[in-house]
Structure 1
């Protein structure tokens, strides 16, 4: 039987190494103490796992940016400052990530990073819809066509106080690519233009880089899909 270690996101290296060292010291003191310290080490390793995903290769698809459960689907105003005061409507799809979910975030659609804004805020529990408006967040707008964009928000939670985003403005990105991580329980929002049909619903479990949130092409293209492992 072949055993392979899980792929670990680099943001977890320090946490895992420190936990491992503490566990080794604990085992040198007593077996029971060592077993007690081993649990958080294994939990930390599990939290920072970064599995490959089978990503649909189709420019018309908007994919889930995170693993988790959809807690909210509703039509809202444009979440950024609209140019020329133009009022736009978007559909908000909010995804709650528990501490057991993969926390690596992925690009929802191929395009160019048009805007990025980091907003300071509170650390309300990510289980509450209030966290979308009140909590610290990183906002990323990806332009997939001229004047058309999808917006992603990485939102901190009660114990998730470190948002990592590896993008820069004007960077070209591909759907399904990793772009960051939020540590220890959080929420990720995705805003899609309101005239696009949403293909997920509240309470549904989604997988980052794999689950289709929406399709820019109103025709069903499921049979035309090819896939990339990323």
Structure 2
């Protein structure tokens, strides 16, 4: 399965066309063009995922790059998506989308401190939110949801084309002690539990 929409073909078509043209000049360069096109399609892969255990699951594949308290006291966990990671993002908790906001900005590397000023899309679910942040090469953020949508933990909520970051801002009742991951940990979207409240997320399925 591949990420929704025709963006993958939009990105894959130019190297495929160039590769076909270069076949008449150099078989090596032609093959490289087709290989790049195949990589772009593979990059937009979208495997099935099943949430494991209770708690807030990761919104992205990649490595944990941020664990901190925001100025308002809420805990933020950020996941940096490298170019080889799956870039389809998933809902960390059950909830209702209240707003989807786009904020224009720069395109610094998503692991850089200056990425706080990068282009982003904020998916606000009331008690928690997911922020999809563009990186140096990520120029397109594609949210799948809109205000009013009901989400189950692990549902697909969007994708970002090429390296980027996804932040989860946890509900206010979570504190740093509820976070189960640390910087540098590898996580899987829709499966790895990032945070869990031992006394407050006892439902056998669904959100925390």
Q: Could you tell me which residue of structure 2 aligns to residue 137 of structure 1?
A: 120
Inter-partner Cα distance in structure 1 for 2:84 and 2:204: 30
CA contact (8 A) 2:66 2:77 kept: yes
CA contact (8 A) 1:63 1:108 kept: yes
Inter-partner Cα distance in structure 2 for 1:168 and 1:38: 36
What's the TM-score, normalizing by structure 2? 0.87
SS of 2:169's equivalent in the other structure is: strand
Kindly name which structure, 1 or 2, has the bigger radius of gyration based on alpha carbons: 1
- 1:61-105 per-residue CA deviation (whole Å, 9 max, x = no partner) reads 211000010011011134xxxxxxxxxx21111111111111111
What's the TM-score, normalizing by structure 1? 0.79
Inter-partner Cα distance in structure 2 for 1:15 and 1:172: 31
SS of 2:74's equivalent in the other structure is: strand
Inter-partner Cα distance in structure 2 for 1:200 and 1:157: 23
Aligned with residue 201 of structure 1, among 162, 182, 185? 182
Residue 131 of structure 2 is aligned to residue 150 of structure 1: no
Show structure 1 runs of 5+ residues with no match.
Answer: 1-6, 79-88, 144-148
Q: Could you tell me which residue of structure 1 aligns to residue 59 of structure 2?
A: 65
Bigger strand fraction: 1
CA contact (8 A) 1:99 1:185 kept: yes
Inter-partner Cα distance in structure 2 for 1:219 and 1:115: 25
Given the superposition, is the C-alpha separation of residues 21 and 110 from structure 1 closer, same or farther in structure 2, using an over 3 Å criterion?
A: same
Inter-partner Cα distance in structure 2 for 1:77 and 1:140: 19
Shift of 1:121: 1.2
Q: Could you tell me which residue of structure 1 aligns to residue 147 of structure 2?
A: 169
CA contact (8 A) 2:108 2:135 kept: yes
Q: Could you tell me which residue of structure 1 aligns to residue 163 of structure 2?
A: 185
CA contact (8 A) 1:12 1:48 kept: yes
CA contact (8 A) 1:75 1:194 kept: no
Corresponding residue pairs, total? 201
Residue 14 of structure 2 is aligned to residue 14 of structure 1: no
Shift of 1:125: 1.1
Inter-partner Cα distance in structure 1 for 2:44 and 2:86: 7
CA contact (8 A) 2:12 2:36 kept: no
Q: Could you tell me which residue of structure 2 aligns to residue 45 of structure 1?
A: 41
Show structure 2 runs of 5+ residues with no match.
Answer: none
Shift of 1:198: 0.9
